[in-house]
Amino acid sequence: MAITLSGDQAIAPPLSSRLTPAQVWGIVLLAPYLLVFLAFVVYPVCYGLWLARAPSNYVALYNDPIFARAAVNTLIFLVIGINIKMLIALFLSGFFAQQRTWIKWLSVIFILPWAVPSIPTILSVRFMLNPEWGMVNHFIFTLTGDDGPNWLNDPTIALTMAIAVHIWKSLPFWTLILITGRLAISHDLFEAAEVDGASWWQKFRFITWPSMQTLYVTCTLLSMIWTLGDFNSVYLLTGGGPADLTHVLSTLGIRYLRLDQLSLAMASIVCAMPFVLPLVYFMMKRLSR
Amino acid sequence: MKLPGVSEFSWRDVATEARLLLIGIPVFLWTMIPIYHMFLFAISPKEDAFSGKLWPDHPTLHNFEIVFKQQHYFLRDFYVQFWNSVVIAAAVGALTLVVATAAAFSISRLKVPGGRMVLNLALFTYFIPAAFLAVPMYRTMGNYGLLNNHWSLILAMVTIASPYAIWVLKQASDKLPVELDEAAVMDGATTLQIFRLVYLPLMMPSLVAIGTYAVLLAWNEYLYAFLLLSNDQEITLPVALGNFLAADDSPWELLMTTGFIYALPPAAVYYAFRRYMVGGLTAGAVKS
């Protein structure tokens, strides 16, 4: 539908007379974005791919234990972290759809993590988890008389905490979207189910889930793509440490960059592409209908 | 005399309410603890902050005074950095609006040849994680000679904000009836007049939403700011916050105070424009 005039004017007069004034304006108005796109997307991407062309980069990556660890961490982050987050969001969307004044107010507060910038709040969590002075270990000590764990110095706990921070930050956004999905379901369906004496599980299984599953899957995939780029949750909480054991691909790329190994940084991103591109393709199919 | 029906009914209500509270209270605590912790540090003297108390023995606004008077090594450029953040966020908001509105008008209303393809390319950029583009972007900005210049961050953020902006604005413009443009053309309006007098006023709610989105995105950005700017006089507030961690004995109470000040404007903007944000953005973000 974009090209509407090519059909009846196929006998090619000069370009300027083929375009209506509106189309000339169309090109002029599209030009700023095209310039931005060429200068800051196309050129960097091509340049980056050119830098990452040598096979030796991939051998170096393969031999770097930090890269393997980062790949595994990223996978854990995406597969476990995102699914837990989306399940909680699905559950909470049901909670926030309840008609109560206090729940309305709570939903306003609940948005806060998404509304405030992530840097100060992540650093706040970082200090809470400080083994000596942090609030969490003080609390554990007061309750049990024992010292709490050395949170961010244990790679497993540190990665778990990074995932928790990520969930804390982005849960409100996804819950909000799932609430809109839930509110779009016709209320008559639930009333009819009520009359038939359906349990809450049956209502969820046969009314809510069928109407929401497409949205839910779309959200999960989109969240996975975006979480690949979540640099802050890991970098500001653990800095990739201890001993570079909690890196994910996004922080690893920046680590190589800081070490002046730009071609390795690009190669690590290229390695992620076989996973990213199918997801992106799928999302574009879905959203550009 | 007891009314069994009524009392049974209200007992069920109480049970439902209790179950809802059982969810609501943990949700409230989970949401508030990191934010409260930041606030607690902002109003605590150093000794209280490090003692793990839930409320300081001597709450004080002294930390704010230190920040506002720039009385600490880490804070000596506070106002410059705050101003950098403001300028960059405003520039990104304005430029994104110009670029994206023009593109959306061109694609949706003027049906420019190849518009569909540009839209798909924009969507594609939107889905590629921004942290992945950061690596080549850093090098590119170096090649352009823009490193340590505010323009590098502004242009990078416009690049990142535009795709989503174009997409949302295109969706919104598709909803405006074609008859409006046709009627304006009949009355002899030029394309620019249609853009200015018909299109822009009708698009106002979406433009507010997208402008807010771009401003918040730029204000909150850490990764690109920290890669592209490094000079103390050029960096934005979030980078300055990150730099606090460089020292072993970081003044965490001042870090949290500055963070609190930095977090207030976006939170205020968000809540002020919440209606637009929820309507304009979440509806557009994921179409089922």
Q: Smallest Cα–Cα separation from B157: which of B200, B96, B98?
A: B96
| Distance from the B1 Cα atom to the nearest Cα atom in chain A, whole angstroms | 31
pLDDT beyond 60 at B23: yes
Chain A residue with Cα closest to B104: A30
Residue pLDDT, tens place only, A124-182 = 999 898 888 888 888 888 888 888 788 888 899 999 999 999 999 999 989 988 988 88
For chain B, the domains span 6-66, 76-281
Q: Is the ipTM here above 0.90? A: no
Report the C-alpha gap between A107 and A101 in whole angstroms.
10
Q: Are B259 and A124 in contact (CB < 8 Å)?
A: yes
Report the C-alpha gap between B109 and B238 in whole angstroms.
39
pLDDT at residue B251, as a whole number: 86
Report the C-alpha gap between B282 and B287 in whole angstroms.
9
Tell me the DSSP string of A113-128. Answer: HHHS-HHHHHHHHHHH
CB contacts, 8 Å: A118 with chain B: 220, 222
pLDDT mean across residues, chain B: 86
Question: Cα–Cα distances in Å, from A223 out to A81, A219, B281?
Answer: 10, 6, 16
Q: Which of A35, A40, A177 to mutate to test the interface with B (most CBs of B within 10 A)?
A: A40
Q: Are A26 and B106 in contact (CB < 8 Å)?
A: yes
Q: Within 10 Å of residue B145's Cβ, how many Cβ atoms?
A: 9
Indicate the pTM of the whole model: 0.88
Which of A142-151, A231-240, B150-159, B279-288 reaches the highest mean pLDDT?
Answer: B150-159
Chain A residue with Cα closest to B212: A115
Chain A residue with Cα closest to B226: A254
Per residue in B174-193, is it b (16+ CB within 10 Å) or e — as a string? eeeeeeebeebeeeebebee
pLDDT mean across residues, chain A: 86
Per residue in A147-180, is it b (16+ CB within 10 Å) or e — as a string? ebeebbeebebbbbbbbbbbbbbbbbbbbbbbbb
Q: Are A231 and B24 in contact (CB < 8 Å)?
A: no
* Residue pair B285/A172 in contact by the 8 Å Cβ criterion: no
| Distance from the A267 Cα atom to the nearest Cα atom in chain B, whole angstroms | 11
Nearest to A47 among B136, B156, B227 (CB): B136
Which of A81-85, A150-154, A221-225, B197-201 reaches the highest mean pLDDT?
Answer: A81-85
Q: Which of A1, A23, A29 to mutate to test the interface with B (most CBs of B within 10 A)?
A: A29
Q: Which of A3, A18, A30, A180 to mutate to test the interface with B (most CBs of B within 10 A)?
A: A30
pLDDT at residue B9, as a whole number: 63
Nearest to A123 among B31, B140, B259 (CB): B259
SS (H, E, C) chain B: CCCHHHHHHHHHHHHHHHHHHHHHHHHHHHHHHHHHHHHHHHCCCHHHHCCCCCCCCCCCCHHHHHHHCCCCHHHCCHHHHHHHHHHHHHHHHHHHHHHHHHHHHHHHHCCCCCHHHHHHHHHHHHHCCHHHHHHHHHHHHHHCCCCCCHHHHHHHHHHHHHHHHHHHHHHHHHCCCHHHHHHHHHCCCCHHHHHHHHHHHHHHHHHHHHHHHHHHHHHHCCHHHHHHCCCCCCCCHHHHHHHHHHCCCCCHHHHHHHHHHHHHHHHHHHHHCHHHHHHHHHHHHCCC
Q: Which of A9, A25, A77, A109 to mutate to test the interface with B (most CBs of B within 10 A)?
A: A25
Q: What band does A9 get if pLDDT is binned at 50, 70 and 90?
A: very low
Report, as an integer, the average pLDDT of A107-135: 89
Chain A residue with Cα closest to B144: A39
Cα dihedral: A239, A242, A244, A250 (round 10):
-30
Q: Which residue has the higher pLDDT, B180 or A87?
A: A87
Instruction: Dihedral sign for Cα A221, A222, A224, A228, please.
Output: positive
Q: Are B285 and A177 in contact (CB < 8 Å)?
A: yes
Which of A201-215, A241-255, B45-59, B142-156 reaches the highest mean pLDDT?
Answer: B142-156
Chain B residue with Cα closest to A217: B288
Residue A60 CB-density burial (10 A; 0-12 exposed, 13-18 middle, 19+ buried): middle
Nearest to B137 among A44, A215, A250 (CB): A44
Residue B65 CB-density burial (10 A; 0-12 exposed, 13-18 middle, 19+ buried): exposed
Q: Residues 6 or more apart from B147 whose CB is under 8 A from it? A: B138, B141, B228, B230
Report the C-alpha gap between A106 and A115 in whole angstroms.
14
Report the C-alpha gap between A90 and B251 in whole angstroms.
40
Q: Which residue has the higher pLDDT, B50 or A106?
A: A106
Share of chain B above pLDDT 90, in %: 40
| Distance from the A32 Cα atom to the nearest Cα atom in chain B, whole angstroms | 6
CATH fold of B76-281? MetI-like fold (1.10.3720)
Chain B residue with Cα closest to A52: B136
Q: What band does B8 get if pLDDT is binned at 50, 70 and 90?
A: low
| Distance from the A65 Cα atom to the nearest Cα atom in chain B, whole angstroms | 20
